[in-house]
Amino acid sequence: MRPLSFIILRLREKRSGWPDESKRLLRVREVSVSKSSDGNPFPIVVLISGSGSNLQSIIDHRQDFEPGIDICTVISNNPEAYGLQRASQVGVSTTVINHQDYPNRSRYDAALMTEIDRHQPMLVVLAGFMRILTTEFVNHYSGRLINIHPSLLPLYPGLNTHQRAIESADKEAGATVHFVKPEVDAGPIIIQARVPVYGTDSRQQLAARVLAQEHLIYPRAIQWFAQGRLSVRNDKVLLDGNESSKQMVISDEI
C-alpha cells in the first residue's frame, strides 16, 4: 500500500462575496486511493429531519467518483421534511418513521435500526438528523455511522453554534465531519472546514458561509469511506489503514 498523504484544499474568499466553485479550489493534494474491490455502487442510508441541503450535496456528487454512491433510502423522523422531496425527485426511495409514534427513544431507535438494516447499507449518514441516538443504536453501527456538525468540534457541540461563535468573538468557525459516539457531537474527526468570522456577521451570514463548506466536505468524507480509505479504530481515524494525529482540513484563507 502506498504511503498516506493528506488532502488540503486551500480556499480564498474575497470580502465582497464568494467566488464561483471553479475559482474557489486553488490547491489540491490528493490522498492515496484504494478503490473498492467490486466496483459496485456503495450502499448508504441517509437520515434527515429538515430541508436536506447536505443530502442534496450527496445526491449531486454521488456519481463523481468510483465506485459511486447508491442511496438505498432516505429516512426522516419528520413527515414534513423537505429533504424527502429532494430524494423523491431523483428516484430515491423515502421512509418516514415519526418519533412521535413511539413511547421512548429506545423503541424508536429499534424501529429505525430495523428499517436501516433492511437495506443493508455499508454506511449510515446523518445529514441534519435532529435526534439524540441511543447507545444501542450507535454501537450497532460503530465505525460506519457519520455525522456533520456546524462547528469546529470539540468547540460548540449542540445547537446555536453560529451565534455562540459570534458571541465568543471567534476569528474562525466551520464544520466537522466525524464518526459518531454515544456522546452528543463527539467522535473521531474525519475532516473539518474552517471559514473566517467577520465582525459584521449575523448568525445567518455565518451559517450560510459554513453551509457552503459543509456541502464540499461531506461528499468527500463519504467518498473516502466508499473507496475503502476511511475507517476508525480505537477512536483514531485511519486513512488507507494508517493512523495519523493530523486533521484533514479545508481552510479559507482571508
pLDDT digits (tens, 9 = 90+) for 30-53: 333 334 456 789 999 999 999 999
Question: Do 55 and 4 sit in the same domain of this protein?
Answer: no
Average pLDDT over residues 83-96: 98
Q: Which of 83, 117, 141 is the last residue of a domain?
A: 141
Question: Do 92 and 171 sit in the same domain of this protein?
Answer: no
Q: Is residue 5 predicted with pLDDT exceeding 50?
A: no
Question: Do 166 and 74 sit in the same domain of this protein?
Answer: no
What confidence score (pLDDT) does residue 65 get?
78
Instruction: Kindly state the percentage of the chain with pLDDT values over 90.
Output: 71
pLDDT tens figures, 180-220: 999 998 899 999 999 999 999 999 999 999 999 999 999 99
What confidence score (pLDDT) does residue 252 get?
60
Residue from 222, 194, 230 nearest 10 by CA: 194
Question: Do 53 and 102 sit in the same domain of this protein?
Answer: yes
Question: Do 4 and 60 sit in the same domain of this protein?
Answer: no
Answer whether residue 151 is part of any domain.
no
Q: Is residue 247 predicted with pLDDT exceeding 80?
A: no
Answer whether residue 146 is part of any domain.
no
Question: Do 167 and 194 sit in the same domain of this protein?
Answer: yes
Domain holding 231, by residue range, is 1-32+156-254
What confidence score (pLDDT) does residue 248 get?
61
Residues 6+ positions from 158 with CB-CB distance below 8 Å: 184, 185
pTM: 0.82
Average pLDDT over residues 126-130: 97
Query: Helix, strand or coil for residue 75?
Result: strand
Question: Do 133 and 188 sit in the same domain of this protein?
Answer: no
Query: Helix, strand or coil for residue 35?
Result: coil
The CATH number of whichever domain residue 220 belongs to comes to 3.40.50.170
Window from 65-79, 175-189, 222-236 with minimum mean pLDDT: 222-236
Question: Do 50 and 135 sit in the same domain of this protein?
Answer: yes
What is the C-alpha separation between 159 and 170, in angstroms, rounded? Answer: 17
Measured in degrees and rounded to the nearest 5, phi and psi for residue 147 equal: -140, 155
| Count of structural domains within the chain | 2
Answer whether residue 62 is part of any domain.
yes
Strand spans (E) along the chain: 10-12, 25-27, 42-48, 69-76, 94-96, 123-126, 145-149, 172-179, 189-196, 230-233, 236-239, 242-243, 248-253
For residue 232, what pLDDT band results from cuts at 50, 70 and 90? Answer: confident
Answer whether residue 67 is part of any domain.
yes
For residue 244, what pLDDT band results from cuts at 50, 70 and 90? Answer: low
Q: Output the DSSP codes for 199-249.
A: TT--HHHHHHHHHHHHHHHHHHHHHHHHTT-EEEETTEEEETTEE-SPPEE
Report for 15-29, 31-45, 60-74, 79-93: range of highest mean pLDDT: 79-93
**Residue type at 155?**
L
Q: Which of 114, 141, 168 is the last residue of a domain?
A: 141
Which neighbouring-strand residues pair with 47? 75, 126
For residue 233, what pLDDT band results from cuts at 50, 70 and 90? Answer: confident
Q: Is residue 254 predicted with pLDDT exceeding 60?
A: no
Question: Do 49 and 136 sit in the same domain of this protein?
Answer: yes
Answer whether residue 52 is part of any domain.
yes
Q: Is residue 119 predicted with pLDDT exceeding 90?
A: yes
Question: Catalytic amino acids?
Answer: 149
Question: Do 122 and 168 sit in the same domain of this protein?
Answer: no
Which neighbouring-strand residues pair with 237? 232
Answer whether residue 77 is part of any domain.
yes
Answer whether residue 221 is part of any domain.
yes
Question: Do 71 and 125 sit in the same domain of this protein?
Answer: yes
Answer whether residue 150 is part of any domain.
no
Question: Do 173 and 100 sit in the same domain of this protein?
Answer: no
C-alpha cell at position 210: 459554513
Q: Which of 112, 141, 170 is the last residue of a domain?
A: 141
